[in-house]
């Protein structure tokens, strides 16, 4: 019995130690708001831990991986314009030898849609890269789904 408990305890600490090493400094949440019977806005909010940042959608070639939002096509709606974002913080980054735009703490990306049905699901993916002052984590991709009612 003692050997079983010892093996169990070792496995538990190994699993907890491995999961503690996975860094996720950005969490995403999603919402929607109907602005009329035929239009809605989809909100994609990134909450970013202190000391970290993600990049704007508008980064020049040769820079860091920019944030990109891909919305799955649907017969239920059409996109109105492009995904919008607030004005980013601009800073010269030596490693890329250019000015780059980024966001700290939180940012909300918005996509307006024209509805062809009163209720639908808007889904897609967000690709982004998160960095702090000394390192960047590999680019990540998250899936999202928002029910518009």
Task: State yes or no: pLDDT of 1 exceeds 80.
Answer: no
Partners of residue 81 on adjacent β-strands: none
**Looking at the chain, how many residues does it have?**
149
Q: Which of the two residues, 92 and 18, has the higher pLDDT score? A: 92
Model's pTM, two decimal places? 0.84
Is 113 buried (19+), middle (13-18) or exposed (0-12) by CB count in 10 A?
A: buried
How many angstroms separate the CA atoms of 136 and 27, rounded? 16
Mean pLDDT for the chain overall: 89
pLDDT, tens only, 79-116: 999 999 999 999 998 888 999 999 999 999 999 999 99
Which domains, ranges and CATH numbers included, belong to the chain?
25-148 (2.60.40.1250)
């Amino acid at each position: 019995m003692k050997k079983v408990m010892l093996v169990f305890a070792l496995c538990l600490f190994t699993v907890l130690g491995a999961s503690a090493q996975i860094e996720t400094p950005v969490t995403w949440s999603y919402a929607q708001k109907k602005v009329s019977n035929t239009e809605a806005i989809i909100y994609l909010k990134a909450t970013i831990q202190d000391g970290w940042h993600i990049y704007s959608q508008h980064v020049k070639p040769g820079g860091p991986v920019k944030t990109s939002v891909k919305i799955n096509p649907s017969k239920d709606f059409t996109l109105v314009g492009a995904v919008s974002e607030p004005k980013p913080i601009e800073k010269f980054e030596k490693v890329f030898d250019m000015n780059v735009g980024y966001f700290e703490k939180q940012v909300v990306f918005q996509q307006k849609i024209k509805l062809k049905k009163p209720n639908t699901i808007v889904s897609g993916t967000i690709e982004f890269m998160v960095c702090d002052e000394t390192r960047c984590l590999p680019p990540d991709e998250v899936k999202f789904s928002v029910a518009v009612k």
